């Protein structure tokens, strides 16, 4: 499988340009061509290309017409089944090309692949994120340089002043194309400057107009609400989809027209509070926080009263604040925060499967001895501890024990999936067990609740929580 690197060049830094071509030549994967498209005659750049003394590197000389025209012309001359539009200031990692080709070969349904990249001189990098057509419509996270299958290339829109990379990926996806995220970093590139293509297109003055041009071309809504989360990204994206909002990790990274920002999770931990607070540093009509069980735990256990009052005084006048349940409300109000109970909206789109005889455990270290006693008392059941690869639909009962006795996301997801709950959390259709009593009685009660609920129908619970977690309640708040 041949890959074509199309490298547009216009007044390059010759030193970096030479390193760019050397890095391509040093790739472990050898079946490639590099078509270097000079956007106007450049004798010094031509000398670098000819000095490679490698038949795979070819020069194409055009009249100056801009980078997008150079890329389109380079594509016409290319032969590879896979195509990458490479910048002349980028250094590819030695095995990147091989990783790309292997991934395409193993995933025939994939139209393009991508990952993160670093900036030269240790100036950080962009980690990118897993492919999701919804979040791609909210903003671009895929560099132009990542490879695509030849047959899906629609051509670069030469009328756009910038953000042609976003336009490219949107066009491919709208035609049914799919992307695949490869964790890690594929190359290093020069940090954008005011003179570079990225720098010119990404200035604060130009940004909104250029975003608008792409949105209008693709009929993308200019949404007034944006969801953000620095600690619960998946939950944030789910919420954004439910209420038809944008999702961005950091909404105010670039100028925007948002009137409302909703943060899922807001950590007051000293190492994280500055980043979480900075998301609200823009002019907004509404600022909303959904405090999570982890946030409540931090507030309950890890912060001084003086610090809590300082944060409460900062947030209370300006931010609408929600918690999952009454127990969380008690903790937050004791710390000085003005909160209301509104569980983070959630829906279940999966088919509810039959209940089995397995127990899924979601708990903290302080309850481990209790769990050991339960395992001896209930030999007829299989117990598993919750990890990322556990599918909640395979279990009959979720056993959730938390020191703060407030509802985590896993409990809500289990309820909507038709699973039974045994917990020290007092919520409708949760098999409540009071853990503030004699341990013997407490364990005996838990055994009784598990045996009672395992295999039991939960249709009433599912119907109740569908209503309780309906996104319409949040929509009314936004109105």
Which of 289, 314, 344 marks a domain boundary?
A: 344
418 within a domain of the structure (yes/no): yes
Q: Which distant-in-sequence residues (6+ apart) come within 8 Å of 217 by Cβ? A: 157, 160, 167
The pLDDT score that the predictor gives to residue 194 is 55
User: How many domains does the structure of the chain reveal?
Assistant: 3
The pLDDT score that the predictor gives to residue 202 is 62
The pLDDT score that the predictor gives to residue 27 is 94
The pLDDT score that the predictor gives to residue 355 is 83
The pLDDT score that the predictor gives to residue 21 is 97
The pLDDT score that the predictor gives to residue 118 is 92
Euclidean distance between CA atoms 206 and 283, whole angstroms: 19
Residue 286: alpha-carbon gap to chain centroid: 23
Which of 201, 217, 233 marks a domain boundary?
A: 217
438 within a domain of the structure (yes/no): yes
Strands 179-189 and 90-92: antiparallel
The pLDDT score that the predictor gives to residue 353 is 81
471 within a domain of the structure (yes/no): no
Euclidean distance between CA atoms 19 and 22, whole angstroms: 5
pLDDT means per 10 residues, the chain with 479 residues, are: 97 94 96 96 93 95 94 97 96 96 97 94 85 97 97 96 94 98 93 60 78 96 96 95 96 92 93 88 90 90 83 94 94 94 91 85 88 90 88 90 88 92 91 86 90 87 93 91
For residue 446, give the CATH number of its domain: 3.40.50.2000
For residue 328, give the CATH number of its domain: 3.40.50.2020
Shared domain for 248 and 212, answered yes or no, is no
SS3 458: coil
Shared domain for 246 and 192, answered yes or no, is no
- Tokens 């109740």 sit on residue: 464
What is the DSSP annotation of 327-391?
HHHHHHHHTT---EE-PPP----SPPPPP-SEEEEEE-GGGHHHHHHHHHH-TTSEEEE--TT--
């Amino acid at each position: 499988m041949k890959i074509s690197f199309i490298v547009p060049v216009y007044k390059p830094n010759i030193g970096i340009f030479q390193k760019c071509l050397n890095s391509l030549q040093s790739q472990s994967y050898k079946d490639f061509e590099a078509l270097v498209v000079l956007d106007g005659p450049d004798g010094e750049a031509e000398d670098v290309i000819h000095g490679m003394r490698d038949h795979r590197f070819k020069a194409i000389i055009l009249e100056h017409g801009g980078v997008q025209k150079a890329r389109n012309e380079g594509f016409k001359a290319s032969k590879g089944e896979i195509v990458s539009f490479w910048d002349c200031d980028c250094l590819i990692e030695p095995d990147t090309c091989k990783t790309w080709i292997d991934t395409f070969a193993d995933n025939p349904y994939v139209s393009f692949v991508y990952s993160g990249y670093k900036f030269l001189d240790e100036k950080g990098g962009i980690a990118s994120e897993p492919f999701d057509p919804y979040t791609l419509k909210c903003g671009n996270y895929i560099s132009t340089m990542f490879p695509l299958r030849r047959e899906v290339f629609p051509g670069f829109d030469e009328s756009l002043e910038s953000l042609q990379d976003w336009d490219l990926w949107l066009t491919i996806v709208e035609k049914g194309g799919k992307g695949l995220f490869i964790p890690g970093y594929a190359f290093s590139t020069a940090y954008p400057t005011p003179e570079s293509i990225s720098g010119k297109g990404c200035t604060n003055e130009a940004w909104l107009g250029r975003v608008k041009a792409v949105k209008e071309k693709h009929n993308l809504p200019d949404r007034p609400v944006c969801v953000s989360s620095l600690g619960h990204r998946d939950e944030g994206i789910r919420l954004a989809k439910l209420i038809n909002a944008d999702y961005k990790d950091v909404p105010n990274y670039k100028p925007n027209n948002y009137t409302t920002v909703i943060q899922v999770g807001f950590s007051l931990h000293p190492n994280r509070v500055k980043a979480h607070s900075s998301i609200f540093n823009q002019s907004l009509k509404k600022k909303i926080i959904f405090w999570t069980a982890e946030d409540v735990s931090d507030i309950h256990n890890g912060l001084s009263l003086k610090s809590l009052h300082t944060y409460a005084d900062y947030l209370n006048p300006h931010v609408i604040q929600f918690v999952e349940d009454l127990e969380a409300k008690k903790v937050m109000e004791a710390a000085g925060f003005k909160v209301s109970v509104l569980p983070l909206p959630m829906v279940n789109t999966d088919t509810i499967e039959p209940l089995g005889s397995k127990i899924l455990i979601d708990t903290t270290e302080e309850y481990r001895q209790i769990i050991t006693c339960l395992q001896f008392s209930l030999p007829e059941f299989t117990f598993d501890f919750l990890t990322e690869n556990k599918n909640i639909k395979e279990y009959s009962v979720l056993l959730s024990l938390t020191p703060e006795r407030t509802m985590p996301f896993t409990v809500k997801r289990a309820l909507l999936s038709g699973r039974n709950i045994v917990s020290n959390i007092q919520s409708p259709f949760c098999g409540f067990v009071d853990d503030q009593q004699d341990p013997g009685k407490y364990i005996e009660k838990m055994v009784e609740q598990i045996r009672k609920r395992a295999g039991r129908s939960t249709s009433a619970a599912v119907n109740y929580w569908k209503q309780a977690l309906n996104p319409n309640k949040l929509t009314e708040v936004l109105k």
